[in-house]
Amino acid sequence: MIDARRLRTLRAVADHRTVTAAAAALYLTPSAVSQQLAALEQETGHALLSRDGRGVRLTPAGEILVCHADAVLAQLERAEADLAAYATGARGTVTVASFATGISLVLAPAIAALATTAPGVRLKVLDAEGDASLPMVLDGQADLAVAVEYRGAPRGDDGRLARFPLYAEPFEAVLPLDHPLAAGPGPIAMADLAGEPWIGPYPGNPCHDVVLLACEHAGFAPRLVHSSDDFSAVIALASAGAGVALVPRSALRGTDLSRIAVRAVDSSAATRKVFAAVRGGAERHPVIRPVLRALESAAAELG
Q: CATH code for 169-272? A: 3.40.190.10
| 97 vs 103: CA distance, rounded Å | 9
- Are 4-81 and 169-272 in the same CATH fold? no
At residue 174 the predicted structure's pLDDT band, cuts being 50, 70 and 90, is: very high
Residue from 290, 273, 276, 298 nearest 146 by CA: 276
Look up the CATH superfamily of 89-167+273-301: Periplasmic binding protein-like II (3.40.190.10)
Phi, psi of 223 (to 5 degrees): -90, 90
Arithmetic mean of pLDDT over the chain: 88
At residue 257, the 3 state secondary structure works out as coil
Sign of the dihedral defined by the CA atoms of residues 258, 259, 264, 267, in that order: negative
Q: Does the pLDDT of residue 12 top 90, yes or no?
A: no
Topology classification of domain 4-81: Arc Repressor Mutant, subunit A (1.10.10)
Would you kindly state where each structural domain of the chain is located, as residue ranges?
4-81, 89-167+273-301, 169-272
**Using CA atoms in the order 293, 99, 174, 260, what is the torsion angle rounded to 10 degrees?**
100
> Does residue 249 contact residue 270 with C-beta atoms inside 8 Å?
no
Q: Are 97 and 146 in contact (CB under 8 A)?
A: yes
Rounded mean pLDDT, 255-267:
92
Provide the pLDDT for residue 113: 96
Amino acid at 179: H
